[in-house]
Structure 1
Amino acid sequence: MANRSQAPTDSSHGPSTAPLLQGAWLTRGVEGRFSAYLPRDGEVVRWTEQPDGSWSGPVSLGGPGPAGRLTPFLAVGQGADRYVHLVGVRPAGTGEGHVELVHSVQFQTGRPALEWRSIGHSNATSRWTGNPAVAVDAQGRAYVFMRNGGGGLSARAQKDTGGWHPWWDLKGSRTDPSPVAVTNGSGFVELYTAHEKGLVRYVQSESGGRPVREDVVPASVTMGSLAATTGPSGHVTLFYLDQEGQVGAWSPDRSLEPTVLGKAVGTGRLDATRCLVDGAESTVLAQRSADGRLALAVLPSERETEGVHWAETGERHAELTAVLSSDLDGRLVAMARTGGGRVLTARQRAGAEGLRLDGWRPIG
């Protein structure tokens, strides 16, 4: 599952009034229907796809609590059980600018989510230190990651018996405010982040274990640009922008060193997912182009070095945040939130040669 969508220019300035999204905010249920989640007016709202392809919503999943309302940020992760884990940020009430993380779960498509519960903050002085990321392991345990006050990474994981482990200090320094969490084909959680000297991976060696920091791999990286997806081999590939505006890829378990794939079409964060194109396993990248349209590039999965070629779709928007997924048949499903608050979706056209989308339409 890819982890997605926040522009690099947003990632280093703390909470803002513009919605920030991290992770798979478009999710697919066991039966194949999709749900979309967005922070709005201090709460989280959800749209649900109906059996006939129409959408219902938005429905409030709450957010207000005794410590205040949610900030306009949301991280989303989904496990193999298709349960959707939501992580928000709300004022902590312990001082001006202090925040805490809150967590909720939706177990079934269209059903109510659990009450939001605090999972605290990695620092005693709980000021904003970065945007959380969440991933879910093969046993359905959520792992929440965030940059801590020292500039390294901290994590909190669910216990098998319920509740949460204390915050783990995963070490590190001067890391990206927006790390990317993903689950590999073995069901272990991996975390990727940027450093001023390159790229860093944190990876589990055993189920339920604390992710361990590996050495920095030298690379030119723009912070806030990372996206990751798990390929058909079960290995993770990270995509990023370098400081010259080019798209790079890195897959340590495939021995792929940071490699330039080609020119980016914009400066915003990448998004990535797997789908089928002409019956072949493919990876699709998305980015808002310089003129405000959504651009897509199709790469053969785990053969990224063949290069990246972009094609633009849809209308121009001053702001555009996109997320990609795939349906039960392996066809691409794209969703975008525009600066005006509209939510649009488009699907890969069945039977068409190459990657062609049906027209974009609002979900409500």
Structure 2
Amino acid sequence: MANRSEAPTARSTGSPAAPRLHGAWLARGKEGRFSAYLPRNGEVVRWTEGADGRWTGPVSLGGGGVLLPGLSVGQGADGYVHLVALRPAAGGEPDHVELVHTTQYQTGRPALEWRSLAHPNGPSYTWTGTPAVTVDGIGRTYVFSRNGGGGVSVRAQKDAGGWHPWWDLLGSKTDPSPVAVTNGSGFVELYSSHAKGLVRYQQRESGGKPVREELLPASVTMGTLAAVTGPSGHTTAFYADQEGWVCAWSPDRSLAPTRLVQTAGPGPLTATRCVVDGADRTVLAQRAEDGRLALCAHPSEQEDAGTAWTYTGTPYRELSTALRAGPDGRLVALALADGTSLLTARVRPGGDALALEPWHTLD
């Protein structure tokens, strides 16, 4: 069965669409404070949580007023935050783009200058997909992007600084929004879907080029993928199938695609691990049919335990969500509502498993 793709078709990258957000755009620093990132008016802006729990911002992280409305974020074990955006390629046609990267080393501090990573297909090319970013066990950044042939390319940082050239990982007809994750051994993996199923690209040695594995036939809705690393160190991918179910797939745990719960709505999934009722849980989020945020949790790597959605907040026409565990292990949620309003909330202390405090708006 062919996938339903949520990728834009024949769209201009410069159109005033709602921001496309991917990855760890809610990041937690080594000291436990959070940062939130958002593309706005051609630059990336950041809000920072203070020691008293109050947020300040927005503060510009640069971009020169030319960045397009998309942002992909990855964070390593060292706490460094890596941001990747798109901008019009110098000297190219209006719809030709290149990827650009910057790093924030410490919570609340300025980021480095934005540097070009070019594009897998050369110095300028039209939009082919939303990048995915992850950081390996020794702090090297990997930026994955769907390329013009419909496959996947990656650009990786070198040990001594700088970047390797783009590596073509092959493939075709892949999801424009792949998901990158680092496993418990510090190796990077990429999950994507294909017109006929699921595919994983796995790094097999430190610093090595990820390898495309055999396609797994499955019914997948493109644009719904999420992934987490579990307590075993193995990764699990989550996606919506075309029959309206949320499914889990973990190749290294020999977990075949397994249905968990019916989807709450049609949009992408978000996933993280946190403490719920004193135990390690994997939490999933999705915008519900009625526009509210839906959350569900199950014991990490125990997909047969069952789960159900909890609905919270106000209905919105569009809702992008990032999830993260706080210093105490409890869930923290960040949401971009209707492309403009940035909201955050935490699980109520001592309350029901996924009961959130009132949403707080970041001005």
With normalisation by structure 2, the TM-score equals: 0.95
Q: 1:81 aligns with which of 78, 81, 86?
A: 78
- The residue correspondences of 1:270-285 to structure 2 (distance < 5 A) are 270-285=269-284
Could you tell me which amino acid in structure 1 is paired with residue 128 of structure 2? T
Contact 1:11 1:224 in 2 (8 A): no
User: 1:293, 1:315 within 8 Å by CA — same for their partners in 2?
Assistant: yes
Separation in structure 2 between the aligned mates of residue 11 and residue 307 of structure 1, nearest angstrom? 34
CA distance in 1 between partners of 2:210 and 2:258 (Å): 25
Cα distance, 1:74–1:287 mapped onto 2, change above 3 Å:
same
What SS class does the counterpart of residue 333 from structure 2 fall into? strand
Q: Does the 8 A contact of 2:97 with 2:126 survive in 1? A: yes
The structural deviation recorded for 1:185 is: 0.7
Distance apart, 1:308 and its partner CA: 3.1
Displacement, 1:18? 1.3
| Distance (whole Å) between structure 2 residues aligned to residue 32 and residue 345 of structure 1 | 16
Q: Which residue of 2 aligns with 1:3?
A: none
SS of corresponding position for 2:304: helix
Q: Aligned runs of 1:23-38 on 2, under 5 Å? A: 23-38=23-38
Matches within 5 A, 1:197-346: 197-339=196-338, 341-346=340-345
1:59-70 map, 5 Å = 59-64=59-64, 69-70=66-67
Aligned residue type for 1:52: D
| Paired residues of 1:8 and 1:267 also in contact (CA < 8 A) | no
Conservation of the 8 A alpha-carbon contact between 1:54 and 1:363: no
Name which structure has the greater RCO, CA cutoff 8 Å, separation 6+: 1
1:21 maps to what in 2? Answer: 21
RMSD between superposed Cα atoms in Å = 1.4
The letter of the residue matching 2:125 is S
What's the CA shift for 1:353?
4.2
User: Match for residue 162 of structure 1?
Assistant: 161
Cα contact 2:18–2:339 (8 A) shared by 1: no
Aligned counterpart, 1:4: none
- Identity score, percent: 65
1:189 partner amino acid:
V
What residue identity is the alignment partner of 2:298? L
Distance 1:10 1:323 in 2: 20
Q: Is the 8 A contact 1:8 1:225 kept in 2?
A: no
Provide the C-alpha distance between the structure 2 equivalents of 1:13 and 1:246, rounded to a whole number of angstroms: 29
Give the distance between the partners of 2:125 and 2:57, measured in 1 at CA: 34
Matched residues in 2 for 1:69 and 1:270: separation? 29
Q: Distance in 2 between matches of 1:328 and 1:237?
A: 23
Structure 2 Cα separation of the partners of residues 347 and 96 of structure 1: 42
One-letter identity of the residue aligned with 2:113: E
Number of equivalences: 355
Task: Give the letter for the 1:111 counterpart.
Answer: R
Of 315-324 and 304-313, more deviation after overlay is shown by 304-313
Cα distance, 1:305 vs structure 2: 2.6
Consecutive unaligned residues of structure 2, counting only runs of 5 or more, are none
Report what 1:96 is aligned to: 94
CA displacement at 1:307 relative to structure 2: 2.9
**Which is worse superposed, 244-253 or 343-352?**
343-352
Which ranges of structure 1 fall in alignment gaps of 5 or more residues?
1-6
Normalised TM-score (structure 1): 0.95
1:69–1:242 CA distance, 2 compared to 1 (3 A): same
Q: In the alignment, residue 63 of structure 2 is paired with which amino acid?
A: G
CA shift for structure 1 position 71: 0.3
Distance 1:344 1:8 in 2: 28
The alpha-carbon deviation at position 355 of structure 1 amounts to 2.4
* SS, match of residue 295 in structure 2: strand
In 2, Cα distance between equivalents of 1:179 and 1:271: 13
Deviation per CA, 1:299-324: give whole Å up to 9, x if none.
11001233331010011111111110
Task: Return 254-263 or 352-361, whichever deviates more.
Answer: 352-361
Larger deviation: 303-312 or 154-163? 303-312
Whether 1:71 aligns to 2:39 is: no
Please state if 1:362 is matched with 2:356: no
- Helix, strand or coil: the match of 1:253? helix
CA distance in 2, matches of 1:232, 1:13: 42
SS of residue matched to 2:259: strand
CA distance in 2, matches of 1:198, 1:304: 20
Q: Is the 2:203–2:210 Cα contact (8 Å) retained in structure 1?
A: yes
Structure-2 separation of matches of 1:328 and 1:337: 22
| 1:111 counterpart residue number | 109
